[in-house]
Amino acid sequence: MAKSSADDAELRRACAAAVAASGARGEDVAFSIRVAKGRGIFEKLGRLAKPRVLALTVKQSSRGEANKAFLRVLKYSSGAVLEPAKLYKLKHLTKVEVISNDPSGCTFVLGFDNLRSQSVAPPQWTMRNIDDRNRLLFCILNMCKEILSYLPKVVGIDIVELALWAKENTLTIDNQVSTQDGQETSVATQTERKVTVTVENDLVSQAKEEEEDMEALLDTYVMGIGEADAFSERLKQELVALEAANVYQLLESEPLIEEVLQGLDAASATVDDMDEWLRIFNLKLRHMREDIASIESRNNGLEMQSVNNKGLMEELDKLLERLRIPQEFAASLTGGSFEESRMLKNVEACEWLTGAIRSLEVPNLDPCYVNMRAVREKKAELEKLKTTFVRRASEFLRNYFSSLVDFMISDKSYFSQRGQLKRPDHADLRYKCRTYARLLQHLKSLDKSCLGPLRKAYCHSLNLLLRREAREFANELRASTKAPKNPAVWLEGSGGSGHNGSSADTSTVSDAYSKMLTIFIPLLVDESSFFAHFMCFEVPALVPAGSPNANKSKSGGNDADDDLGLMDPDGNDLKPDSTSAELGTLNEALQELLDGIQEDFYAVVDWAYKIDPLRCISMHGITERYLSGQKADAAGFVRKLLDDLESRISVQFSRFIDEACHQIERNERNVRQTGILAYIPRFAVLASRMEQYIQGQSRDLIDKAYTKLVSTMFATLEKIAQSDPKTADIVLIENYAAFQNSLYDLANVVPTLAKFYHQASESYELACTRHISSLIYLQFERLFQFNRKVEELTYTIAAEEIPFQLGLSKTDLRRVLKSSLSGIDKSIGAMYRRLQKTLTSDELFPSLWDKCKKEFLDKYESFVQMVTRIYGNEPIMSVNEMKEVLASF
């Protein structure tokens, strides 16, 4: 038998290592062999089979249980190392089928009964030769027999042939073991032979059983070969004898059959008599049932008529009760008084009328009653009562609202007077209106269209009162506020007006504006909320969360809104569409209620702006704080009022910033300005004051103002500097330095000013560099002019050729050094005095002179390096000697 991979000990050890690496413990590899995995459809498409290794493993049980057998499929990884691919339990193996399409017979399929997808064809395994196939199948059958005690079905291979192969090759199935000296020895275990013989016997027994049965049958007929006719004749004789025996048996049972037939005839006669009696009794019972049904039908009709008559009487009594109009309610509805003492009876009459009308409508009344004449007449009578009552109540309420407000307007004690600010108090007004709140609710349920004129009448009357209160309060507020007589002036040309404006205390102006908002904004919100509840608008709760009235309503205070009881904010009757429509109607009504009152707020804002424009910052922050608290839909007009106030304040402040920018630009028209411009230090004072006035979220407003002012200042400064090129850098240096010094503290806390601070610092450095360079070149022009010429030539010719160029020889170099460095002390002193003379600020001179010395040393050091590189050891003053000369100044 040829050497197979099943005898490869290295393969078996590799399989054992792969099984151990997969985490399986206690499994021993009993058999391993190389195979090729494929599927019929893939092979037809030209795809190559995949190399695999099949390993049979046995797991020993430690608790007395049966051992477990597994079939493991291993594949080669990218590093040619075996790794587990799939695991099958042999206890689920039901079929072993050799593929008939493979003429070699080396391809087979293993069928398992626990595969997840039975619709997918199982993989086909192809062996190298028939011996490898038989060896693997024989080992599988051995394990199934010994461990699992059963054999799977074998298809496509002759069992006898497999058993004969096993018998012939059992003694040659050895395990090859390599000894230390490299020689191979065959070790055949007795156990393997015993198992092989057992499986052989089982496989052969299946074929022998059929042969033994056929031999037993043929042994009963001892005949020779060629006696087929005699055998056929004998079979015919036995068949005739069998039929004769059956006929004889039938003839012997004839008396018994006769006796049974007689009994059947007697029973049939008795059954016919019984059927006749049953037909007679059935006829009599049917007549009795008809009589009983007729009696019951008459009784049921009489009972139903009695019940119907009783129910009809009860329904008619109820209908008559619905149609009756109580005399006291009719009197209240048609001609009763609307005085406060009579309101309880009027409300009861409204409730009865509403209930009576609803009781005659289809949902509450049976549809069969709707077309009755009595019902139609009574419904018309109730509609007439409703129309009369709604007309009378509406006329009374319109007159009542007007008279109530006229009374309050005529009494001057309700308003602010000279020397006394009066907070508007509408508690008495709301108390009197609250008396008719339930009446309004019933009017809405009776006729919703009547609320429109009533709402307009209420808005018109109360609007007069609110405008009068706001006008009187605003006038007295301005008159009683102590403010500077001269308005603050910023960034003007004269120093006095700017300083006076900045030092005056104008906090009373913003306090007055804050007091105006503190008094009237809550009042307007309360009036909006009261109006929405009182006039029965179907909207949610209208008082903003966190407002004083919201706290009162939670604590059970006796506020006007708390006692109305008109709306349930969480009521299920409110629908989103109806709520949005009601909110639109409510905002239109609030516009009529509060329109015109904004003019008095505008007057206070304009008055404060004239006194101190910077107070716009405080007023802007105050307005934002109030605006952030108004979130409820009923305060729609109040939010609009606050938005308009914020816009007006922003416009006024922008106007002030524009005027300040215009004042800055006027400096451009002045002729020959030197030193620090006036608006530089004044802007620092202005910025400090603006930072003091910031409240709330006014940062964006201030940052925009800073951006516009500083941009204008820098642009104007550049234009002034360009008007005189000789002093341009000096003007820029002094003014940018003054800007940085005056805004150093603010730039550390204000990001916008920090940005402009860095911009001024960059411009200052550029101006210093230009001015210092001009001073150095003015004093040492020949020295550094010579250096520049040499540097330019280094880009075009070699360094050793430069001393031979015209004007750049060593003689020319000595002349330049003599003219520039012979009186170096005097030259540096002249440069020192010229820098000191050009500056108007003594504070800047030390830092500029240090910059000048550093710049000169850098240029001189570059010159010395050039001389050394180009002219060799030409004598020249060293850099250290130059430092000592500069240190003396």
- Listed range (256-270, 354-368, 468-482, 539-553) with the worst mean pLDDT: 539-553
pLDDT band at 216 (very low <50, low <70, confident <90, very high): low
Amino acid letter, 344: L
Say whether pLDDT at 316 is over 70.
no
Exposure string of 828-837, with b = 16+ CB inside 10 Å and e = fewer, is beebbeebee
d(CA 648, CA 639): 14
Concatenating the DSSP letter of every residue in 715-764 gives HHHHHHHHT-GGGHHHHHHHHHHHHHHHTHHHHTT-HHHHHHHHHHHHHH
Query: Are 842 and 725 part of one and the same domain?
Result: no
Query: Are 822 and 734 in the same domain?
Result: no
How far from 477 is each of 506, 603, 607, CA to CA, in Å? 15, 11, 11
**pLDDT bucket at 206, cuts 50 / 70 / 90:** low
Comparing 422 with 534, the larger pLDDT belongs to 534
Q: Are residues 599 and 737 in the same domain?
A: yes
The pLDDT score that the predictor gives to residue 825 is 78
User: Does 738 share its domain with 786?
Assistant: no
Contact 345, 332 (CB under 8 A): yes
DSSP string, 798-829: -GGGGGGSTT-SHHHHHHHHHHHHTTHHHHHH
Q: Which helix (H) or strand (E) holds 40?
A: helix 40-44
Residue among 558, 554, 561 at smallest CA distance from 522: 561
Task: Provide, rounded to the nearest whole percent, the portion of the chain with pLDDT above 70.
Answer: 76
| Rounded Cα gap, residues 855 and 399, in angstroms | 93
Confidence band (pLDDT; 50, 70, 90) for 495?
Answer: very low
Determine the pLDDT at residue 210.
54
443 within some domain: no
Task: Compare 195 and 356 and report the one with higher pLDDT.
Answer: 356
**What's the mean pLDDT in 579-604?**
81
In a domain, 14, yes or no: yes
Per-residue pLDDT of 120-163, as tens digits, reads 567 888 988 888 888 888 898 888 888 888 888 888 887 778 88
Q: What is the mean pLDDT of residues 286-304?
A: 89
User: Which pLDDT band, with edges at 50, 70 and 90, does 170 fall under?
Assistant: low
Distances (CA, A) of 729 to 452, 716, 842, 871: 75, 14, 16, 37
Q: What are the distances in angstroms from CA 611 to CA 508, 602, 604, 646, 824?
A: 10, 15, 11, 18, 63
Decide if pLDDT at 342 tops 80.
Answer: no
* Single-letter amino acid code for the residue at 151: L
Question: Across residues 285-301, what is the average pLDDT?
Answer: 89
Is the pLDDT confidence value at 109 over 50? yes
Coil vs helix vs strand at 181 = coil
Mean of the per-residue pLDDT values of the chain: 76
pLDDT for residue 235 is more than 50: yes
Please say if the pLDDT value at position 850 is more than 60.
yes
Dihedral pair phi/psi, residue 542, rounded to 5°: -105, -15
731 domain-assigned: yes
- Pairing verdict, β 153-155 and 93-98: parallel
Which residues share a beta bridge with 51?
36
Element (H, E) at 37: strand 27-38
What are the backbone dihedrals phi and psi of residue 840, each rounded to the nearest 5 degrees, phi first?
-95, -15
Residues 805 and 833 in one domain: yes
Helix ranges (DSSP H) in 570-635: 576-594, 598-611, 615-629
Give the C-alpha separation, 690 to 684, whole Å.
10
Is residue 82, in this structure, part of any structural domain at all?
Answer: yes
Q: Is residue 435 part of a domain?
A: no
For residue range 359-409, list pLDDT tens digits in order. 666 766 667 666 677 667 777 777 777 787 788 888 888 888 888 888 888
Q: What domain range includes position 784?
A: 780-887
Domain end: 157, 174, 206, which one?
157
SS3 assignment, position 153 = strand
773-793 core/surface letters (b: 16 or more CB in 10 A; e: else) = bebbeebbeebbebbeebeeb
Q: How confident is the model over 513-521, as a mean pLDDT?
A: 87
Are 741 and 810 within one domain? no
Most confident of 206-215, 524-533, 559-568, 665-674: 524-533
Q: Are residues 809 and 765 in the same domain?
A: no
- Is 654 exposed, middle or buried, given 0-12, 13-18 or 19+ CB atoms closer than 10 A? middle
Residue 251 has pLDDT above 80, yes or no: no
pLDDT of residue 349: 76
Structure tokens at 114: 């626990």
In 3D space, the residue among 140, 25, 35 whose CA is nearest the CA of residue 89 turns out to be 140
pLDDT at 494: 38
State the total domains in the chain: 3
Q: Rounded to whole angstroms, how far apart are CA atoms 451 and 457?
A: 10
Tell whether 152 is covered by a domain.
Answer: yes
Going by C-beta distance under 8 Å and a sequence separation of 6 or more, which residues neighbour residue 653?
Answer: 613, 616, 617, 620, 701, 705
Whether 808 and 729 map to the same domain: the answer is: no
Q: Is the pLDDT of residue 189 over 60?
A: no
Residue 492: count other Cβ atoms within 10 Å of its Cβ.
16
pLDDT of residue 91: 86
- Is the domain of 789 the same as that of 880? yes
Residue 484 is assigned to a structural domain of this protein = no
Q: What is the CATH number of the domain that holds 151?
A: 2.30.29.90
Cβ neighbours of residue 711 under 8 Å, at least 6 residues apart? none
Q: What is the pLDDT of residues 420-469, one digit of tens each?
A: 677 888 888 888 888 888 888 878 877 788 888 888 888 888 888 888 88
| pLDDT > 50? residue 587 | yes
- pLDDT of res. 411: 73
User: Does residue 408 contact residue 386 with C-beta atoms inside 8 Å?
Assistant: no
pLDDT of residue 401: 85
pLDDT tens readout for residues 709-766: 889 888 888 888 887 777 778 888 888 888 888 888 888 888 888 898 898 888 888 8
26 and 74 inside one domain = yes
Q: Which of 19-28, 44-53, 835-844 has the highest mean pLDDT?
A: 19-28
> Is 721 within a domain?
yes
Are 682 and 791 in a shared domain?
no
Angle between the 373-410 and 254-323 helix axes, to the nearest 10 degrees? 50
Among 99, 134, 157, the domain-final residue is 157
Instruction: Reply yes or no on whether the pLDDT at 523 is more than 70.
Output: yes
Q: Binning pLDDT at 50, 70 and 90, where does residue 324 land?
A: low
Listed in order, strand segments (DSSP E) in 131-193 are: 153-155, 175-178, 184-187
User: Of the candidates 452, 438, 410, which has an alpha carbon nearest to the alpha carbon of residue 592?
Assistant: 452
- Residue that finishes a domain, picked among 135, 157, 179: 157
Within this chain, do residues 759 and 845 fall inside the same structural domain, yes or no?
Answer: no
**Beta bridge mates, 155:** 97
- Nearest Cα to Cα of residue 702 among 741, 738, 649, 665: 649
Q: Give me the pLDDT at residue 7, please.
A: 77
User: Checking DSSP bridges between strand 124-126 and strand 82-89, what pairing results, if any?
Assistant: unpaired
